[in-house]
Structure 1
Amino acid sequence: MPPNNTVIATSLPVEEIPVTVKAPKFDTSYRTLWGSFKTPLIWINIIGIFSVHLIAMMGFITFPYFTHKLTVLWCNASFGGFGVTAGAHRLWSHKSYKATVPLRLILLMCYAMAGQNRLYEWVRDHRVHHKFSETDADPHNANRGFFFAHVGWLMMRKHPEVLRKGKQVDCSDLFEDPLVMAFEKKIQPVENFMVSIVAMGEGWHNYHHTFPWDYKAAELGNYKVNATTFLLDMFAKIGWAYDLKSPSDKLIQQTVENNGDGTHCKQ
Structure 2
Amino acid sequence: MLVVFNFFLYENPIIHWARDHRTHHKFTETDADPHDPRRGLFFAHMGWAMLKKKREVLEKGRGIDQSDLHADPILKWQERYYMWFMPLGTFILPTVVPMYFWNETLTNAYCVNILRYLVCLHMHGLVNSVAHTYGDRPYDKFIGPADGFSVSALTLGEGLHNFHHTFPWDYRSAELGVFCFNFTKSCIDFFAMIGWAYDLKATTQDMIRARAARTGDGSSKHVWGWGDRDQTAEDHKGTVIIN
Fold shared by both chains (TM-score > 0.5): yes
Is the 8 Å Cα contact of residues 191 and 205 (structure 1) preserved in structure 2?
yes
Structure with greater contact order relative to length (CA < 8 Å, sep ≥ 6): 1
Deviation of the 1:204 alpha carbon: 0.5
Is the 8 Å Cα contact of residues 183 and 206 (structure 1) preserved in structure 2?
yes
Is the 8 Å Cα contact of residues 223 and 230 (structure 1) preserved in structure 2?
no
Which residue pairs with 2:56 in the alignment? Answer: 161
* SS of equivalent to 2:211: helix
Which of 217, 229, 233 matches 1:261? 217
Code of the aligned partner of 1:154: A
Larger % of helix: which? 2
Is the 8 Å Cα contact of residues 169 and 202 (structure 2) preserved in structure 1?
yes
* 1:6-25 equivalent positions in 2, closer than 5 A: none
Deviation of the 1:255 alpha carbon: 1.3
Q: Does 1:209 align with 2:165?
A: yes
TM-score, normalised to structure 1, is: 0.58
Is the 8 Å Cα contact of residues 32 and 56 (structure 2) preserved in structure 1?
yes
Deviation of the 1:235 alpha carbon: 1.3
* SS of equivalent to 2:8: helix
Which residue pairs with 1:241 in the alignment? Answer: 197
Q: Does 1:138 align with 2:94?
A: no
Deviation of the 1:223 alpha carbon: 7.3
Larger deviation: 208-217 or 223-232? 223-232
Q: 1:223 to 1:260 in 2, by over 3 A?
A: closer
Is the 8 Å Cα contact of residues 223 and 229 (structure 1) preserved in structure 2?
no
Code of the aligned partner of 2:165: H
The 4+ residue runs of structure 1 with deviation greater than 2 A are none
1:214-265 deviation digits (Å, cap 9, x = unpaired): 1111002417711111111111111111111101111112211222122222
What value does the CA root-mean-square deviation take over the aligned residues?
1.4
Q: 1:224 to 1:254 in 2, by over 3 A?
A: closer
Code of the aligned partner of 1:138: D
Which of 184, 187, 193 matches 2:143? 187
* 1:1-267 equivalent positions in 2, closer than 5 A: 106-181=1-76, 183-222=139-178, 225-266=181-222, 267=227
Code of the aligned partner of 2:161: H
TM-score, normalised to structure 2, is: 0.64
Is the 8 Å Cα contact of residues 134 and 142 (structure 1) preserved in structure 2?
yes
Count of residue pairs the alignment pairs up: 162
CA distance in 1, matches of 2:190, 2:142: 35
Identity of aligned residues (%): 49
CA distance in 1, matches of 2:142, 2:180: 29
Deviation of the 1:130 alpha carbon: 0.5
1:50-95 deviation digits (Å, cap 9, x = unpaired): xxxxxxxxxxxxxxxxxxxxxxxxxxxxxxxxxxxxxxxxxxxxxx
Gaps of 5+ in 2: 77-137, 228-243
Is the 8 Å Cα contact of residues 15 and 69 (structure 2) preserved in structure 1?
yes
